[in-house]
Chain A
Amino acid sequence: MFLSADIRRRPTFREGVAQMAPMAVGIGAWGLMTGVAMVKSGMSVIEALAMTFLVYAGSSQLAAIPLLVAGAPAWVILATGFCVNLRFVVFSLHLRPYLMHMPRWRRLVHGYLTADLSYATFTTRYPSPPTHRDEERAQEAYLTGGYFITWSAWMGMSTVGIALANLIPQAWGLGFAGVLSLVGILCSMATTRLRVLSALIAGATAVAAYALPLKLNIVTGIGVAVLLCFWLEKQFVRDPAEVDA
């Protein structure tokens, strides 16, 4: 969408860029390590580049790496990626009234390029959806400016990471940086006691069921954790708002 000169000329485009620029530094650094982690885990340069430029979702990329390397079946990898990305489903419900005035292809392009931080910054800047034509145009440009800078930082630094990775020996174990990034993301999502429990159950089940073929221990872990947390929520939580975060 940032290829459209019409959008770039609107004043809020620059505002979005300026707002996201400080965060783009952190995103770039994370992209760098993701690039290194992909190659150091055993993916080829072409695969790593394809993943960077097509998937454009750090956490689902990092979660997919060990599964791809282990040769897990496609449906297990896609199901895992879907579960890791479920937070975006919640964001999309929030973004719907902001985007519905556009044709579908335009909504899909904006949606695809809007990741966590762009979403958070955009909805903070505009707490309510546009009500007339000028607002629609201003909000679209702000959103585009914001994700333009994050997309550029992520793609540029991931590519640098992929290129540098070939110079670093495998034995250094830099691929572990990908796992550590996921540890951080996991901690950031564990905001309620039941979510912490969900993570513990899923982790323990995935270890206990490791002998299952086709990396089915991942899907088993997710299934057991979600069902148990459902049941516990029904038994012990009176007010559902308590578990919302």
Chain B
Amino acid sequence: MSGQTDLWSLVVIVGLAAVTVLTRCFFFILDRPWGLPEWAHRALHYAPVAALAAVIVPEIVMTQGHLVSTWQDARIFGALAGAAYYFWRRGVLGTMLVGMAVYLPLHLGLGW
């Protein structure tokens, strides 16, 4: 999967498109009214943040399968700066821009 198209990835992408339709239309796919059991409603509160955190935290603090052993890692500072911006001003785009403004000089300039 390095710049080459493979059929399996395309199948997964079509699957993800089906997930988009399924989740965005969940309660109006069927004609009859229905509801979720209570436990599923509760799960809706915690699963989305859990899924995002489970994906991104290893992307920020791990290299080649190991926890980073140095604090000189541009990703950590970029992510912290982005999060700090979010809680100061809100806005996903600003979070990304501020995070990159910290990440790029450290990564390209200092080689972290």
Contact with A along B69-104 (1 / 0, CB 8 A): 000001100110011001100111111100110011
Please, which residue of chain B has its CB at the minimum distance from the CB of A230? Answer: B42
Q: Number of B interface residues at 8 Å Cβ cutoff, please give it.
A: 73
- Is B46 a contact partner of A179 (Cβ separation < 8 A)? no
Cβ of A204 < 8 Å from any Cβ of B?
Answer: yes
Task: Specify which chain B residues have a CB less than 8 angstroms from the CB of A67 in the assembled complex.
Answer: 55
Q: Could you tell me the distance in whole angstroms from the C-beta of B93 to the nearest C-beta in chain A?
A: 5
Q: Could you tell me the distance in whole angstroms from the C-beta of B57 to the nearest C-beta in chain A?
A: 3
Which of B11, B24, B104 is most buried by chain A, counting CB atoms within 10 A of its CB? B24
- Is B13 a contact partner of A180 (Cβ separation < 8 A)? no
Interface of B is mostly: helix
Contact with A along B7-30 (1 / 0, CB 8 A): 011111111110111111111110
Cβ of B110 < 8 Å from any Cβ of A?
Answer: no
- Is A204 a contact partner of B57 (Cβ separation < 8 A)? yes
Contact with A along B38-60 (1 / 0, CB 8 A): 01001111111111111111111
Instruction: Pick from B21, B46, B91, B103: contact of A194, CB below 8 A.
Output: B46
The 8 closest A-B pairs by CB, nearest first: A203-B57, A184-B95, A221-B54, A83-B51, A111-B25, A184-B92, A202-B50, A180-B99
Mark A residues whose CB is within 8 Å of B: 26, 29-30, 33, 42-44, 46-47, 50-51, 54-57, 59-61, 63-64, 66-69, 71, 74, 77-78, 80-93, 95-96, 99-100, 104, 107-108, 111-112, 114-115, 171-174, 176-177, 179-190, 192, 194-196, 198-207, 210-211, 217-222, 225-226, 229-230, 233, 243-244
In the complex, besides A111-B21, A199-B53, A217-B58, 9 extra interface pairs with C-beta distance below 8 angstroms are A47-B5, A81-B20, A85-B19, A107-B28, A174-B100, A180-B79, A188-B92, A196-B49, A230-B43
